[in-house]
Structures are given as C-alpha cells and as structure tokens.
Amino acid sequence: MIGFQIRQRARAVDAAVVERYRQLPVANVSDVMSRMFAGGAQLRPMHDGTVMGGPAVTVRCRPGDNLMVHKALEVAQAGDVIVVDAGGDLTNAIIGEIMVAYAKKRGLAGIVIHGAIRDSAVIRRGDFPVFAAGVTHRGPYKDGPGEINVPISLGGMVIEPGDLMIGDADGLLCVSFDDVEHIYRETAKKHAIEEQTLADIDAGAYDASWVDARLKALGAAP
C-alpha cells in the first residue's frame, strides 16, 4: 500500500567499503563527485563530531510523525545508517534522546533526519552520529503514514536503500552503491595529493605559481 509499506533492501555496501571511506574527508569525496551532490547545508552534525559511515536504511514519513522511524530502528541492522525524509519540517522533532540511545544500543552507525530533533544537549555530548536540520522541544506524532526502504531525496540528493552514507563535521553525502569503488579510488588519489600539499607548506616548498597561470588563462593576469 502506497504510504504504508516496509520493503526489504535488495543490496547494501559492505563493511569493508564503509571502513575505507571513514578514513577520507567528506569534502574530498564531494570534490571527486564534481561538487554536485549534497543533502543541503542545513543538515548539520548534532553530535560530538564522530565520523559517520554505513549503508542506508531509508524512511519517508509525514512531517512531524515518527511511527515508521520507530519501525526502522527494528528493521535496521548493526552498522546501518537510518536516513529519514521528514520533509525538512522543523515544527516537531522526529527523534530524541531515547531513540538515539536505542539506536546506539542496537549497533547502528548513525541517524540522518531531514527535519528536527530534540534533547539536543544530550545528543551533542554523545558520540553517536546524528545529522539533522534543526532543533525543537515539540515532540512527534505516531500515526503514519510512512515508508521504509524506498528511494528518497534530501535537498535533491537521491538516496537508494543500501547506498553509502558518510558524514563528518563538514556535512553528509550519499555515494550510490554502483559508484563506491570508482569514487573511492579517485578520492584516495585526491586525498594523497592534498596531504602532499600540506607537507610542502610545512616544509616551505609550496608552489603557488598555479594562481598566476590560472589568471593568465582567464585573461586576468597582471
């Protein structure tokens, strides 16, 4: 039934892929993905900054209602990230301290809420990754409708069940299941180049000649 359905995931990125991505900055992954994909700058880390990574369990719910998010906590497996499209509405919180504690106890890897949370002071002190768009004290309803493991979109970023979700202090990003290997290889290369650049700066050997070369190419060189 459309509006009330719970699907099974057909596939999911594995733990080895997740661990490799956890060693890379989200910003580097974003650069390799042409800086075209993001869940929106309003989705910020609400926890202590611990890096997040895991396959997505997706949830679409009515703004202000968390019935299917509770069910997703039961459906999700250890290492999963629950990703909730709550319409970006900040009127009612979708999760709070109790649901976060339960998610952590079950071994989940994080929760993303395109909406609001509450009990933010407790969540902020904790190391369980929570990304959300805002905070409110007003609690949720539990009437539905909602859907689990369907395609969703957060700020134009499409997420399929089982896709890789990553997040750090800069924000969060989805890497599609089919692209994880290619994107990882290219990101690892970019990260190595940036590490060398930092080493060059530290050694006083940084070459900034590219700036004038770029200006010349644009017809703006002095």
pTM over 0.85: yes
pLDDT in tens, 95-129: 999 999 999 999 999 999 999 999 999 999 999 99
pLDDT given for residue 23 in this prediction: 95
pLDDT given for residue 89 in this prediction: 96
Question: What CATH number matches the domain at 4-185, 3.30.365.10, 3.50.30.40, 3.30.1330.10, 3.40.50.300?
Answer: 3.50.30.40
Question: Which amino acids are annotated as binding site for Mg(2+), given as ranges?
Answer: 119
The mean pLDDT value for 191-200 works out to 96
pLDDT given for residue 221 in this prediction: 66
pLDDT in tens, 146-168: 999 999 999 899 999 999 999 99
Cβ contact 94:140 at 8 Å:
yes
Query: What is the residue extent of each domain of the chain?
Result: 4-185
Q: What gap in Å lies between CA 62 and CA 146, rounded to an integer?
A: 6
Q: What gap in Å lies between CA 132 and CA 100, rounded to an integer?
A: 13
Question: Which amino acids are annotated as binding site for substrate, given as ranges?
Answer: 96-99, 118
- Axis crossing angle, helix 15-22 with helix 180-202, rounded to the nearest 10: 20
Long-range CB contacts for residues 71-77, cutoff 8 Å, separation at least 24 = 71/6, 71/146, 71/148, 72/148, 73/99, 73/102, 73/103, 73/106, 73/108, 75/6, 75/148, 75/149, 76/103, 76/106, 76/108
Q: What gap in Å lies between CA 192 and CA 57, rounded to an integer?
A: 31
Query: What's the angle, vertex CA 178, arms to CA 172 and CA 183, rounded to 5?
Result: 55
Q: Is the pLDDT of residue 30 over 80?
A: yes
The mean pLDDT value for 73-81 works out to 98
pLDDT in tens, 36-68: 888 778 899 999 999 999 999 999 999 999 999
Q: Is the pLDDT of residue 222 over 70?
A: no
pLDDT given for residue 41 in this prediction: 82
- Amino acid found at 6: I
Query: Count of alpha carbons within 13 Å of 11, Cβ hemisphere only?
Result: 7
Task: Characterize the bridge pairing of strands 157-159 and 152-154.
Answer: antiparallel
Average pLDDT, the chain: 95
Q: What gap in Å lies between CA 85 and CA 79, rounded to an integer?
A: 20
Task: Characterize the bridge pairing of strands 93-95 and 157-159.
Answer: unpaired
The mean pLDDT value for 86-91 works out to 96
Question: Which amino acids are annotated as binding site, given as ranges?
Answer: 96-99, 118-119
